[in-house]
Amino acid sequence: MYEPDPAVVRAASEGDMDSFAELVRGYQTPVYRFLRHFLGDATMAEDVAQDTFVRAYQRLGSFRFQSKFSTWVFSIARNAGVDAVRSQGRRLRLVERAGPPTPSVDPAASAEVEAALAALEPRLREPLLLVEVLGLTYRETAAVLGVPEGTVKSRVFHARERLVAWFEEDNVREV
Amino acid sequence: MRCDEARAVLSAALDGEVAPDAAAGARSHLAGCPECQTHIDAWERVRRELLAVDDRPDLVAGVLDRIAHQPSRRTTVRRTLPLVAAAVAGLIVGATLVSARPGRGPDLVGADIPRRVLAAQSRIDSLEAQVEITERGWHPSVPVRRFTGALVYVAPETMILHLADRTEYPAGQWVPNNVDVVVDRSMWWARGPAPCPTEAQPRCTPTEPRVRVVTGREPFAEDLPAPLDLVLPASGFAIGTDALVLERERDFDGRPATGVVTTAAQIGALLDALHVAGNWRPVPPTAGVTLWLDKERLVPVGVDVDEVSGRGAPALEIRLRGAAPLARPQDAAVPTPPAAPVVRDAGFRDGEEAGPTPSWLPAGMQPYRNGAAGPVAAASWSDGRAWVKVRATEAWPGGRLFGGLGEIVRTVPLPGQGIGYVGEGGRKVAVHGAGVDLVVTGSIPSPDLVRVAASLGVRGEPVPSDWVEASTATLATARAALAPLLVLRGSKNYASPSIRVEDDTVTLAYAGAGDRGFVLVQSPGTALAPPFDADVIGVRVRGRVGRWTPDTHTLEWLERGHLIEMRSRTLRLAELVDAAHQLRVAR
């Protein structure tokens, strides 16, 4: 995973927009991919990805170089995603979260995976995406989520098992 | 091996988190189990699909546009709030544990501790000590690791830490966690094993240590903990009020020491300094800590970090033995940096233009290092131990305050000079002036930082309406926006809150000792939103049934037609509940 030169981070935190643009370019793909899978909606993912980088810009001054920059950005993306889900829930005053979305009828394999992911509980979906899409280690994922490393290991495994079970239950075609 | 056991190992192996030999048994199971092979094939196909999203938008233009034109978009601020708990980290006030003893007043001796710690920074101009560290639970195959070494500190900005790993590792490719960290004015370097997940030890640690060398550092730069924090937890006590002190003293090398009960968040800077290089067991900010301070010098002579379970021997024990001032601090030998593949130049050059100069400084402060890094000038002063720094720029693009004050700040009057903004729990004071933006920081108490800022000759103006901090509000404004409004009353453990009002949502950020703090969000509501996570816990709070979500560190409940949320990554649930009990209606 891309790790920027600390001088670029420092320059960005001092207001150098060229340096900040370099950081956005370096992380926009994994951040968008993560949010796309996490939120299940391309438009919302793009909006929240933008939000992620605006937040990062606002907080650059508080980045202390004591963790990897990538982990720091992904933490912001994860929280922005969580907030998007939460605020949506609050706005709609839902009494209950909607159940798992209806599986897509799109025969494309990616749509199948999206549907299976949407059926996963967020607590399982999140660590799986952090590991699979962002390439974080279990330790880094644990730091992002604020849970023990062992919990990450177990949740990633259970997420995979649930996905397979979902495919089998639904008797879907090959993904 | 059962199928589920084998697949659990193979799942971790797929992520590179298991050594090949450790996965050998699972792989041999796989060779004879078609069902498991079907699972693994599906996992791998999912991985390919997840990485195959191809409608990737280019976000750069949109992000820059949002920063330039609508940084305070209302929804944005509300949605950033869950992270504010983390942003509140780095805040001050010398207070401590309230959780276990609700309603109990400060210990009389404890009330004196922060003041004495801060005063001590002006008495310590050098120190050398032997360091002993015992760490438990880092890896299942290595239950205990032991380190010995030496620490040298010369005020204000030199530190030499050397740790040698004395652990007897089991057979295998374990790499000793030998660590060096050297800070000397404009340069720092660190050498230690490259970071590697514990679960992938020992195979993933390269045998060659990783060396980092940085030159051209600004004075008291934030890329490393300040050396002072390693010998004196000044930043954890910078606006001190009271501390919970153990009644029984303890002897360290024949000298009496006072035990201060706190959590890792209060001494984060000290622990961070130890963890600059090498592989260590992570210490969560809520871990219980007993900080042993030499009764006379207030130097930490011992740190005990509890097991998260609260049982058994400490997870981490740090001992400083034979701590004494150097006979000739000026002669302290600073090791030269080892050869490094890349030497990073942080860009600061001494001796260049230094920006506005204060007409008032605490007694004894003399010019220390001045200079500039690009468009940012920095000037610093020190009495040889404590320090103050002013950073200024005429090229700030705006959108938020210059200086990294964090998400939520509060305004402060600068006598005769307009207003300033206080952030990082009082450790930073920012001024937005006509054509110049500056920030004052240092190891001195917050009121003194404000006084320095007011003496710079720059009139502080309110930030433009489209800056993030424009929604910073007073308590009166917040009360008008949402009534009845709950505020913390009667606790000496937190500073006055930073307040933000967004429509009918009021956010108050309370800074505690060290990195401790919490965010309180209040908005109209008659029902809790559906739980985001299945791991929620019902909690009795203020006589009502509330909800605790461990993953987001959020405590929520309904009260008088409002939805109340308290968030903190540095306080335990019991501490948050206790703080909740101290909330009163603002008058």
Q: With bands split at pLDDT 50, 70 and 90, how would you rate the model's confidence at B286?
A: confident
A115 contacts in B (CB within 8 Å)?
none
Distance CA B226, CA B214 (A): 15
- Percentage of chain B surpassing pLDDT 90? 24
Cβ contacts of B80 on chain A, cutoff 8 Å: 55, 58, 80, 83
Residue pLDDT, tens place only, B166-193: 999 998 789 999 999 999 988 999 999 8
Residue B59 with chain A: CB contacts under 8 Å: 24, 28, 32, 46, 49-50, 53
Confidence of residue B236 (pLDDT cuts 50, 70, 90): low
Shortest CB distance from B197 goes to which of A93, A94, A137?
A: A137
Name the residue facing A110 among B52, B222, B468 (closest C-beta): B52
pLDDT over 50 at A96, yes or no: no
- pLDDT, position B239: 40
Read off the pLDDT of residues A131-157 as tens digits, 9 standing for 90 and up.
Answer: 888 888 888 888 788 788 888 998 999
Inter-chain residue contact A33 with B399, CB threshold 8 Å: no
Q: Cβ–Cβ of B50/A33 closer than 8 Å?
A: yes
Confidence of residue A173 (pLDDT cuts 50, 70, 90): very low
Q: What are the chain A neighbours of B502 within 8 Å (beta carbons)?
A: none
Q: Could B532 and A80 be called an inter-chain contact, meaning their C-beta atoms sit closer than 8 Å?
A: no
CB of B506 closer than 8 Å to CB of B472: no
Nearest-Cα residue of chain B relative to residue A86: B532
Nearest to A94 among B83, B530, B553 (CB): B530
State the nearest Cα–Cα gap between A105 and chain B, in angstroms.
17
Nearest residue of chain B to residue A13 (CA atoms): B404
Indicate which of A8, A46, A62, A125 best probes the interface with B, i.e. most B CBs within 10 Å of its own CB. Answer: A62
Q: Where are the alpha helices (DSSP H) in B254-350?
A: 268-274
User: At B412, which amino acid appears?
Assistant: V
Res B514 pLDDT > 50: yes
pLDDT of residue B104: 30
CA of B288 to nearest chain A CA: how many angstroms apart? 16
**Residue B564 confidence (pLDDT):** 94
Q: Cα(B440)–Cα(A126) distance, rounded to whole angstroms?
A: 39
- pLDDT of A13 over the 60 cut: yes
Residues of A in contact with B16 (CB under 8 A): 137
- Mark yes or no for CB contact B42/A163 under 8 Å: yes
| Lowest model confidence (mean pLDDT) among A118-127, B75-84, B368-377 | B75-84
Which of the residues B18, B36, B59, B563 would you substitute to probe the A interface, choosing the one with the greatest number of A C-beta atoms within 10 Å? B59
Distant-in-sequence contacts of B171-174, Cβ < 8 A, 24+ apart: B172/B141, B172/B202, B173/B202, B173/B203, B173/B205, B173/B207, B174/B142, B174/B201, B174/B202, B174/B205
The closest of B574, B570, B575 to B271, measured between CA atoms, is: B570
pLDDT at site B232:
60
Both tokens assigned to A87: 């605020």
The answer to which of A91-105, B237-251, B314-328, B452-466 has the lowest mean pLDDT is A91-105
DSSP conformation letters of B514-576: TT-EEEEEEEE-SSPPPPSSS--EEEEETTEEEEEETTTTEEEEEETTEEEEEE-SSS-HHHH
pTM attached to this predicted model: 0.59
Contacts of A83 in chain B (CB under 8 A): 79-82
pLDDT tens string B316-360: 998 988 878 888 888 888 999 888 777 888 888 888 666 889 999
Distances (CA, A) of A19 to A7, A26, A28: 9, 11, 14
* Alpha-helical regions (H) of B307-395: none
Distance between alpha carbon A103 and the CA centroid of its chain, in Å? 21
Average pLDDT value for residue range B51-70: 74
Q: Do B46 and A132 touch (CB under 8 A)?
A: yes
Residue in B129, B161, B157, B163 with CA at minimum distance from that of residue B145: B163
Helix (H, G, I), strand (E, B) or coil at A65: coil
- Separation between Cα atoms, residue A90 and residue B98, nearest integer Å: 32
The residue ranking higher by pLDDT, A98 or B528, is B528
Q: Is the pLDDT of residue B537 over 50?
A: yes
The pLDDT value given to residue B93: 21
**Would the pLDDT of B407 be above 70?**
no
> Are A123 and B533 in contact (CB < 8 Å)?
yes
Judge whether residue B105 has pLDDT over 50: no
Tell me if A7 and B344 make a contact (CB, 8 A cut-off). Answer: yes
Residues of B in contact with A51 (CB under 8 A): 76, 79
The 10s digit of each residue's pLDDT in A28-78 is 988 988 888 888 778 888 889 998 998 898 888 777 676 778 888 888 888
Q: What is the pLDDT of residue A171?
A: 41
Contacts across the A-B interface (CB distance below 8 Å):
230
Q: Tell me, what's the pLDDT at B404? A: 82
Question: What percentage of chain B exceeds 70 in pLDDT?
Answer: 82
Instruction: Give tens-digit pLDDT for B254-277.
Output: 888 888 877 777 777 677 777 778
How confident is residue A174, by pLDDT bands cut at 50, 70 and 90?
very low
Interface probe, candidates B80, B217, B307, B533, chain A, greatest A C-beta count within 10 A: B80
What's CA B59's distance to the chain center, in Å? 30
Quote ipTM for the complex: 0.76
Q: How many CB atoms neighbour CB B32 within 10 A?
A: 8
What mean pLDDT comes out for the span B187-214? 82
Which tops the pLDDT comparison, A126 or A110?
Answer: A126
Residues of A in contact with B427 (CB under 8 A): none
State the pLDDT confidence band at A94, using cuts at 50, 70 and 90: very low
Neighbours of B413 (CB within 10 A): 12
Nearest chain B residue to A55, by CA: B80
- Contact list in A for residue B275 (CB cut-off 8 A) is 66
Lowest pLDDT segment from A126-130, B369-373, B460-464, B536-540: B536-540
Residue B95: the pLDDT is 22
- Burial track B326-364 (b if 16+ CB lie within 10 A, e otherwise): eeebeebeeeebeeeeeebebbbeeeeebbbebeebbee
Instruction: Kindly state the DSSP code that residue B174 receives in the 8-state scheme.
Output: P
SS3 B17: coil
CA distance B60 to A115: 29
Write out chain B residues lying below 8 Å of A61, CB-based: 402-405
- pLDDT score for B147: 96
